[in-house]
């Protein structure tokens, strides 16, 4: 793909005013390290190359100095990298905000809730192997010292129909496959389940190419 020439070629991120435009690199870049977090911490917005951490740090510092609420809106098409971006912002706050041993529980809950939410709310689609099939609103509450003391994650509009119907080449919610793959023998026995997902009509994934050839075959047979 061709990127705008102003785009910082290393991070695939650039600014339009104070808006960060980020291109999904589809590979791990060495720009989300603790060293990078320390680099962006407390530094003026335009002093360093465009980065998610600059957005996160700016929102945090303005909140602390103005004592008011701030939000970061992440938008983009499916597969653009919104979920990954939100996780990186959470990690940034987890590492850089002042904390106490007690507050680490809040931090851990915010970070560790993600795998659970993704298990129940994410699924493979044609555009994204880990697509969020629900809207997410997340807030973090800070005390007057700027330490994270709590938060909410609200989910809404989950794609319930996926449980009983998936488009060709797509899958059901991850949790069903995870349960069959990772659930221990006793649990599966108690639930009356077998380990093989191919046994369940709602979990059988028909690949896009296979479904196309089936479709064509049935058309030809029909003729």
Ligand X SMILES: Nc1ncnc2c1ncn2[C@@H]1O[C@H](COP(=O)(O)OP(=O)(O)OP(=O)(O)O)[C@@H](O)[C@H]1O
Buried b / exposed e along 96-133 (16+ C-beta atoms within 10 A): bbebeeebeebbeebeeebeebbebbbbbbeebeebbb
The residue among 118 and 142 lying less far from ligand X, judged by its C-beta, is 118
- 169 part of the interface to ligand X, by CB under 6 A: no
The residue among 76 and 150 lying less far from ligand X, judged by its C-beta, is 76
Residue 17 is assigned to a ligand binding site: no
Q: Which of 15, 37, 81, 180 binds ligand X (CB under 6 A)?
A: 81
Cα distance between residue 54 and residue 34, in whole Å: 14
What is residue 50's three-state secondary structure?
Answer: coil
* Tokens representing residue 93 in the block: 């706050």
- 121 part of the interface to ligand X, by CB under 6 A: no
Residue 79 is assigned to a ligand binding site: yes
Residue 43 CB, nearest approach to ligand X (Å): 21
Cα distance between residue 14 and residue 11, in whole Å: 8
Phi first, then psi, for residue 131 (nearest 5°) are -80, 130
The residue among 29 and 210 lying less far from ligand X, judged by its C-beta, is 29
- 82 part of the interface to ligand X, by CB under 6 A: yes
- 33 part of the interface to ligand X, by CB under 6 A: no
Cα distance between residue 15 and residue 167, in whole Å: 36
x/- mask, ligand X, residues 128-157, rule CB under 6 A, reads x-xxx-------------------------
Residues that bind ligand X (CB under 6 A): 24-28, 76, 78-84, 128, 130-132
């Amino acid at each position: 793909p061709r990127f705008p020439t102003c785009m910082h070629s290393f991070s695939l991120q650039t600014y339009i005013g104070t808006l960060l435009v980020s291109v999904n690199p589809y590979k791990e870049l060495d720009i989300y390290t603790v060293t990078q977090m320390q680099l962006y911490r407390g530094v003026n917005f335009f002093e360093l190359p465009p980065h998610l951490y600059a957005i996160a740090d700016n929102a945090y510092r303005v909140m602390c100095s103005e004592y008011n609420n701030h939000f970061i809106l992440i938008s983009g098409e499916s597969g653009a990298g919104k979920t990954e971006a939100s996780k990186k912002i959470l990690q940034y706050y987890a590492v850089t905000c002042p904390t106490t041993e007690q507050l680490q529980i809040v931090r851990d809950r915010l970070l560790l809730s993600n795998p659970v939410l993704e298990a129940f709310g994410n699924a493979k689609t044609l555009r994204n192997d880990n697509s969020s099939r629900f809207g997410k609103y997340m807030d973090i509450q800070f005390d007057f010292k700027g330490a994270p003391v709590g938060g909410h994650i609200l989910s809404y509009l989950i794609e319930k129909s996926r449980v009983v119907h998936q488009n060709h080449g797509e899958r059901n919610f991850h949790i069903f496959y995870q349960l069959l793959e990772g659930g221990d023998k006793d649990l599966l026995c108690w639930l009356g389940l077998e380990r093989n997902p191919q046994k369940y009509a709602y979990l059988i994934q028909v690949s896009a190419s296979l479904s196309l050839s089936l479709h064509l075959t049935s058309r030809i047979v029909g003729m």
